[in-house]
């Protein structure tokens, strides 16, 4: 079967790379405890014509969440942590703006996205050097909730940061050190590391790409150590095959039990219904988000998976536990659905239903539709620009330092128009009408509004950084316009997360 | 319906295998309905049921209560995501988070933090809906608010009350006028008396575990608890309900229900305690409905179980199939066997699985679960009580579970537990054993009397809800 299987996978992978304009993809497949395929297809570096291999390192993004959840489950197994005890009992500094959530949120709530907090992703994306403790303990308590505690599933990266910080609180080791010692080392994941680690000369790193003007352009991925437990791991499919074997053996590797069966079982027990994509897949019935894993029924088979998506890399780790099948797909392209298409196609081959569905075209069509809808929504964000309605104040009157207790300090300054400096990221502000501007962050134009005080001065800037909240994020002016030149923020050269807490 | 070929024969064999009294079935596929009936509605007189015979649908009633709330929501009279105290301020919980934030949705999907506490309404058979609502605040939670699925009949009684305070009509009249009438469900009833008056109904039976004999048992009379499980209906009229659900709320071209999709959107994972089959995945509770995947397609269903009656109401929205099974024997898994067999045939999987044999094999597990739920007798380990019987006599009260009157008659102690007075047998010390009469079976319990500082008996504890500490009834001062 092996050679025929390899050919089938190769054929689909190559077709997928072309259709979805992805430079390269690496795949590993584990069945009944054996790696039956570990291959790269396409290019790891377009400019150098370097072939993708099973040894190329790529960020796995949010597929890291299962490592964080597994780390927590290991502490459950050791009796150091109970999933249903409030986080505050272990880490009294933990807080959230909703007092009910603050006192009651448990590790289970953090790991299944039901605290009521929406993403607030632009906070960490625009603040790469925020220290983990500052983000977790000083900023998170000020972020607005968009749903009652435990009422719905809302994907949230920050809460995995909290879970990682909790692991540090209980073990005295940073999440990174804990993960390295307790998972990477025993599983022999020697090529796995974290986004802030310096490149290792021994390893091959795939170049990451993002589409720019219709062509693939090299890009850097995020590196925000503060939220590392939500997505910091980079790895190879060979290493990830070991992770699959460990999971398919329900927490054992090389016959060594790394955590108890009961603690492991929690990782795959659904906690809350979820909806990840705006479309439905006929062969899939969603079951629930467990802990760092999605659980669904695929063609009637139990499936456990989690994808990852960071700048320049899209990944998927997927298992059919009752068939003892695991698949990992890592790509070096920003935002694509080759991962889902390829994983489904490979699972179909192993379920004896090859070519039953054209997954490549199915997912690409859905993706195109999703992208079109999202572009439409983005276009609607700003609304109509009124003609001939200039700004009410001179540009330098808007300049100054503004602060929000959750999102931190930003600096507005005039230099060929207005600009905003968010933690070292400079974004131009485009004027719309009166005191309304817009700022483009990650290609999304976001409305910005300045507020005039009774005395006529500008007293606040509001930016719609979290669209699921009814109100924008309001930054109040922290210093008069004269201090425009002041430094925006202390910058931390060393990220806190790379040190022991 | 060609796909159903062989279904009636298989159902007849399964009925014989389970040894239950009678069964009626309606199977809906698109515009077509097939009605079948088997066995006896009255085993003594050997009277056969037919498609018009009334059977209890038990907890499948919950989907009607959910539908009533969706109607109020469509009319703008209820926001199911607003705190329920806006409409029903007298509903309070022990947990202040739940009091402040619980919504109709939370009650509809069993996530308020309360366990069953079913003995409350067993001990207070005449409790009104209004009294039920007022009693909730004295029940201790067994999970944090919204953290876990814990099936609760009491919450559905409270939801019935919510219909009443919003609409003004009783829950029964609302469901009759707004759902039964437009669905042409003319014979369906909300209580035993109306069913008996109708005349064509199934007698309730329980099958003796050891001898296999069918024993006639009393009807469940739910009274205040009706919105959780009191509807009786025929197979023919239940098919009207199914057709309406399959057409997303319309019946004979008229829009009757709204929110059918919302009602089947999963809210809480709710794995079956009873069985796991690879054909069934991902059981969740939605709003008055259970939702799972059956052979890869969505199955929406609700089971029902009352004294001497079992039911399963199920439909598959993507495929346009529905099936209703009612059996006049309690604790029956024949309902599942029959429904899954019918769906298999409709889906083209005829004869691939012997659901009868598979589910019959699970019956022992059902018994074990039932036993665990009712508790087991306490083994004697110590000395008998040092007190005279009269010292225990008195009236003991709990703010939710009501009063337990303990009487000493000629040295013989007995306690009023629900419908009847149960004799108390001293196990050891001040611990007594008694049987609570549930109508179709008795549940062993213990009464553990507590001594006050003054040396007198001040309270009695009964383990009436396994998920929380024993319920403490305090003695009235004499």
What does the alpha-carbon distance between residue B445 and residue B458 come to, in Å, rounded to a whole number?
19
Q: Range with the lowest mean pLDDT among A336-340, B363-367, B433-437? A: B363-367
Please give the angle made by the CA atoms of A162, A163 and A164, to the nearest 5 degrees.
Answer: 90
* Contact call for residues B422 and B436 (beta carbons, < 8 A): yes
Question: Chain A: residue nearest B97 by CA?
Answer: A100
Q: Is the pLDDT of residue A287 over 90?
A: yes
> Do A164 and A292 have their domain in common?
yes
Mutation for A interface: B84, B101, B111, B266, most A CBs within 10 A: B266
The residue-averaged pLDDT of B270-298 equals 94
Q: Which residue has the higher pLDDT, A112 or A443?
A: A112
Q: What CATH number corresponds to the domain at position A401?
A: 2.40.128.50
> Could you tell me which residues come within 8 angstroms of residue A138 by beta carbon, excluding any fewer than 6 positions away?
none
Residue of B281, B300, B343, B353 to mutate for A, most A C-beta atoms under 10 A: B281
Average pLDDT of the residues in A396-409? 96
Number of other residues whose CB lies within 10 A of the CB of residue A369: 12
Pair (A455, A354) in one structural domain: no
Q: Indicate whether B478 pLDDT > 80.
A: no
Q: Which of residues 108-127 of A touch B (CB under 8 A)?
A: 108-109, 114
Please tell me if residue A425 touches chain B, with a CB cutoff of 8 Å.
no
Question: What residues in B contact A104, CB-CB < 8 Å?
Answer: 97, 144-145
Over 60: is that where the pLDDT of A497 sits?
A: no
Residue A485 has pLDDT above 60, yes or no: no
pLDDT at A447: 92
Picking from A84, A287, A299, the nearest residue to B282 by CB comes out as A287
A92-142 pLDDT per residue, tens:
999 999 999 999 999 999 999 999 999 999 999 999 999 999 999 999 999
Distance of CA A325 to the CA centre of its chain: 25
Instruction: Identify whether the C-beta of residue B142 lies closer than 8 Å to the C-beta of residue B167.
Output: no
Partners of B282 on chain A (C-beta within 8 Å) are 270, 285-288, 295-297
Same domain, A212 and A244: yes
Please name the residue that has the structure tokens 């894993």: A293
Alpha-helical regions (H) of B297-428: 334-346, 355-360, 363-374
Neighbours of A217 (CB within 10 A): 13
Whether B236 shows a pLDDT value over 60: the answer reads yes
What's the pLDDT at A2? 78
Please tell me the distance from the alpha carbon of residue A316 to that of residue A184, in angstroms, as a whole number: 19
pLDDT digits (tens, 9 = 90+) for B241-281: 999 999 999 999 999 999 999 999 999 999 888 889 999 99
The mean pLDDT value of chain B amounts to 95
CA dist., res. B347 & res. B87, Å (int): 44
CB pairs under 8 A between A and B: 74
Does one domain contain both A350 and A264? Answer: yes
Q: Is A259 on the interface with B (CB under 8 A)?
A: no
Q: Which of A151, A285, A288 sits opposite B296 (nearest CB)?
A: A285
Residue ranges making up the domain that contains A406: 395-485
CATH topology (fold) of B2-73+157-374: Beta-lactamase (3.40.710)
Which tens digits make up the pLDDT trace of B146-165?
A: 999 999 999 999 999 999 99
Rounded distance between C-alpha atoms, residue A14 and residue A9, angstroms? 9
Calpha distance B138→B312 (Å, rounded): 33
3-class SS string, B220-254: CCCHHHHHHCCCEECHHHHHHHHHHHHCCCEECCE
Q: Note whether A351 and A416 are same-domain residues.
A: no
Any idea which fold B389-475 has? Lipocalin (2.40.128)
How do A204-205 and A56-59 pair as beta strands?
A: parallel
- pLDDT value for A204: 96
- pLDDT score, position B128: 97
Domain total in chain A: 2
How much is the pLDDT for A491?
38
Distance from C-alpha of A88 to C-alpha of A95, rounded to nearest angstrom: 8
Distance (Å) from the C-alpha of residue B279 to the closest C-alpha of chain A? 7
Which of A88-121 are b and which e, b meaning 16 or more Cβ less than 10 Å from the residue's Cβ? eebbeebbbbbebbbbbbbbbbbbbbbbbbbbbb
Q: Are residues A367 and A451 in the same domain?
A: no
Helix pair angle (A359-382, A338-350), 10° resolution: 160
Q: What's B47's DSSP letter? A: B
Parallel/antiparallel/unpaired status of strands A301-310 and A294-298: antiparallel
A285/B267 Cβ within 8 A: no
The CA–CA distances, whole Å, from A424 to A129, A138, A298, A443, B466 equal: 9, 20, 45, 18, 58
**Residue A415: Cβ within 10 Å count:** 10
Question: Cα(B166)–Cα(A253) distance, rounded to whole angstroms?
Answer: 59
Mean per-residue pLDDT, A64-84 = 98
Give the pLDDT of residue B454. 83
Q: Hey, which residues does B435 pair with through a beta bridge? A: B444
Give me the residue from B105, B145, B282 closest to A270, CB to CB: B282
- The DSSP result for B16-40, as a single string, is HHHT-SEEEEEEEETTEEEEEEEE-
- Which of B469 and A106 is assigned the larger pLDDT? A106
pLDDT at position A487: 43
Residue ranges with strand state E in A349-423: 400-404, 408-414, 418-422
Residues B94-115 pLDDT 10s: 999 999 999 999 999 999 999 9
CA distance B76 to chain A (A): 21
| Closest residue in B to A153 (Cα–Cα) | B267
CA B411 to chain centre: 39
- C-alpha B25/C-alpha B41 separation (Å) is 13
Which chain A residues contact residue B146 at CB under 8 A? 114, 149-151
Assess A84–B contact: CB distance below 8 Å, yes or no.
Answer: yes
What does the pLDDT look like over A229-266, one tens digit per residue? 999 999 999 999 999 999 999 999 999 999 999 999 99
**Cβ contact B322:B316 at 8 Å:** yes
Q: Give me the residue spans of the domains in chain B.
A: 2-73+157-374, 389-475
Residues A206 and A147 in one domain: yes
Give the per-residue pLDDT at A496: 35
Of A308, A340, A375, which residue constitutes the final position of a domain? A375
pLDDT-derived band at A153 (thresholds 50, 70, 90) equals very high
Give Cβ neighbours of residue B438 (< 8 Å, ≥ 6 apart). Answer: B122, B307, B374
Dihedral of the CA atoms A82, A83, A85, A89 (nearest 10)?
Answer: 70
Q: Residue A206 maps to which CATH number?
A: 3.40.710.10
Instruction: Give per-residue burial for A298-336: e unless 16+ CB within 10 Å, then b.
Output: bbbbbbbbbbbbbbbbbbbbbbbbebbbbbbbbbbbbeb
- Give CA–CA dist B237/B226, Å, rounded: 19
Contact B101 A100 (CB under 8 A): yes
Contact flag B282-A322 (C-beta cutoff 8 Å) = no
pLDDT cut 70: percent of chain B above it: 99
Is the pLDDT confidence value at B235 over 90? yes
Q: Same structural domain for residues A284 and A361?
A: yes
Tens of pLDDT, residues A321-331: 999 999 999 99
**What is the Cα–Cα distance from A456 to B122, expressed in whole angstroms?**
70
Answer whether residue B377 shows pLDDT above 80: no
pLDDT band at residue A214 using 50, 70 and 90 as cut-offs: confident
pLDDT score for A480: 59
What distance in Å separates the CA atoms of residue A330 and residue A57, rounded to the nearest whole number? 9
Burial, A207: exposed, middle or buried (Cβ in 10 Å; 0-12, 13-18, 19+)? buried
Report ipTM (2 d.p.): 0.78
């Amino acid at each position: 079967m092996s050679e025929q299987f390899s050919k089938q996978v190769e054929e689909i992978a190559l077709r997928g790379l072309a259709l979805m304009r992805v430079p390269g993809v690496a795949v590993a497949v584990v069945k009944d405890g054996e790696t039956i395929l570990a291959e790269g297809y396409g290019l790891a570096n377009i400019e150098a014509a370097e072939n993708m291999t099973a040894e190329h390192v790529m960020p796995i993004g949010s597929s890291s969440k299962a490592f964080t959840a597994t780390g927590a489950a290991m502490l459950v197994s050791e009796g150091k942590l109970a999933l249903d005890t409030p986080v505050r009992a272990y880490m009294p500094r933990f807080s959230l703006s909703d007092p009910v959530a603050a006192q009651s949120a448990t590790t289970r709530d953090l790991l299944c996205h039901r605290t009521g907090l929406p993403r607030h992703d632009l906070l960490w994306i625009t603040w790469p050097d925020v220290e983990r403790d500052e983000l977790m303990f000083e900023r998170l308590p000020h972020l607005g909730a968009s749903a009652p505690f435990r009422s719905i599933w809302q994907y949230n990266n920050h809460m995995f940061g909290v879970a990682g910080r909790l692991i540090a609180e209980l073990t005295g080791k940073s999440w990174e050190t804990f993960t390295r010692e307790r998972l990477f080392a025993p599983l022999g994941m020697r090529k796995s590391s974290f986004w802030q680690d310096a490149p290792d000369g021994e390893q091959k790193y795939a170049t990451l790409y993002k589409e720019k003007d219709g062509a693939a352009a090299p890009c850097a991925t995020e590196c925000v150590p503060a939220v590392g437990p939500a997505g910091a791991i980079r790895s190879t499919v060979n290493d990830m095959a070991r992770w699959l074997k460990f999971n398919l053996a329900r927490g054992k590797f090389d016959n060594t039990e790394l955590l108890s069966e009961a603690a492991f079982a929690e990782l795959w027990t659904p906690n809350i219904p979820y909806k990840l994509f705006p479309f439905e897949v006929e062969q899939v019935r969603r079951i629930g988000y467990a802990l760092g894993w999605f659980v669904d029924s695929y063609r009637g088979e139990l499936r456990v998976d989690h994808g990852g998506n960071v700048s320049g890399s899209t990944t998927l780790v997927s298992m059919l536990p009752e068939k003892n099948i695991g698949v990992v797909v890592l790509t070096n392209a920003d935002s694509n659905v080759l991962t889902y298409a390829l994983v489904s196609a490979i699972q179909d081959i192993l379920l004896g239903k090859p070519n039953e569905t054209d997954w490549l075209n199915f997912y690409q069509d859905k993706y195109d539709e999703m992208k079109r809808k999202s572009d439409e929504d983005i276009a609607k964000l700003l609304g109509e620009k009124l003609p001939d309605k200039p700004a009410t104040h001179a540009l330098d009157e808007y300049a100054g330092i503004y602060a929000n207790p959750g999102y931190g300090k930003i600096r507005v300054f005039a230099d060929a128009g207005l600009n905003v400096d968010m933690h070292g990221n400079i974004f131009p502000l485009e004027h719309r009408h009166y005191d309304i501007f817009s700022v483009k962050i990650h290609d999304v134009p976001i409305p910005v509004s300045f507020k005039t005080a009774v005395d006529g001065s500008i007293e606040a800037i509001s930016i719609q950084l979290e669209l699921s909240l009814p109100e924008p994020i309001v930054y109040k002016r922290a210093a008069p316009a004269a201090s425009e030149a002041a430094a925006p923020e202390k910058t931390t050269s060393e990220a806190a997360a790379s040190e022991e807490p | 319906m060609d796909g159903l070929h062989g279904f009636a024969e298989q159902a007849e064999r399964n009925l014989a295998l389970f040894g239950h009294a009678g069964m009626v079935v309606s199977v809906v596929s698109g515009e077509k309905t097939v009605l079948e009936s088997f066995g006896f509605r009255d085993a003594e007189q050997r009277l056969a049921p037919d498609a018009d015979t009334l059977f209890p649908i038990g907890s499948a009633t919950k989907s009607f209560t959910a539908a009533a709330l969706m109607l109020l929501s469509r009319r703008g009279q209820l926001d199911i995501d607003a705190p329920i105290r806006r409409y029903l301020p007298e509903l309070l919980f022990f947990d202040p988070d739940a009091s402040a934030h619980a919504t109709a949705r939370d009650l509809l999907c069993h996530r308020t933090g309360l366990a069953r506490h079913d003995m409350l309404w067993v001990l207070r058979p005449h409790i009104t809906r209004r009294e039920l609502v007022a009693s909730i605040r004295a029940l201790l939670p067994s999970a944090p608010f919204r953290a876990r699925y814990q099936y609760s009949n009491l919450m559905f009684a409270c939801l019935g009350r919510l219909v009443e305070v919003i609409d003004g009509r009783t829950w029964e009249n609302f469901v009759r006028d707004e759902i039964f009438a437009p669905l042409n469900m003319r014979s369906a009833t909300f209580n035993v008396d109306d069913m008996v008056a109708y005349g064509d109904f199934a007698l309730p039976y329980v099958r003796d575990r050891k001898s296999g004999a069918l024993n006639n048992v009393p009807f469940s009379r739910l009274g205040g608890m009706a919105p959780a499980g009191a509807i009786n209906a025929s197979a023919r009229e239940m098919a009207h309900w199914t057709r309406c659900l399959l057409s997303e709320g319309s019946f004979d071209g008229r829009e009757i229900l709204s929110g059918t999709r919302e009602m089947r959107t999963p809210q809480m994972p709710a794995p079956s305690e009873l069985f796991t089959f690879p054909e069934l995945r991902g059981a969740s509770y939605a709003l008055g409905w259970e939702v799972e995947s059956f052979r890869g397609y969505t199955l929406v269903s609700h089971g029902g179980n009352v004294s001497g009656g079992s039911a399963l109401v199920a439909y598959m929205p993507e495929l346009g199939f529905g099936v209703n099974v009612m059996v006049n024997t309690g604790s029956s898994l024949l309902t599942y066997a029959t429904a899954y067999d019918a769906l298999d045939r409709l889906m083209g999987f005829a004869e691939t699985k012997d659901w009868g044999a598979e589910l019959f094999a699970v019956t022992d597990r059902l018994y074990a679960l039932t036993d665990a739920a009712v508790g087991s007798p306490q083994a004697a380990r110590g000395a008998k009580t040092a007190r005279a019987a009269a010292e225990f006599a008195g009236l003991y009260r709990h703010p939710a579970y009501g009063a337990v009157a303990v009487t000493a008659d000629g040295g013989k102690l007995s306690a009023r537990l629900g419908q009847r007075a149960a004799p108390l047998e001293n196990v050891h010390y001040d611990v007594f054993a008694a049987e609570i009469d549930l109508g179709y079976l008795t549940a062993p319990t213990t009464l553990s009397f507590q001594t006050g500082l003054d040396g007198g008996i001040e309270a009695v504890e009964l383990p009436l809800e396994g998920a929380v500490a024993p319920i403490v009834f305090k003695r009235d001062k004499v």
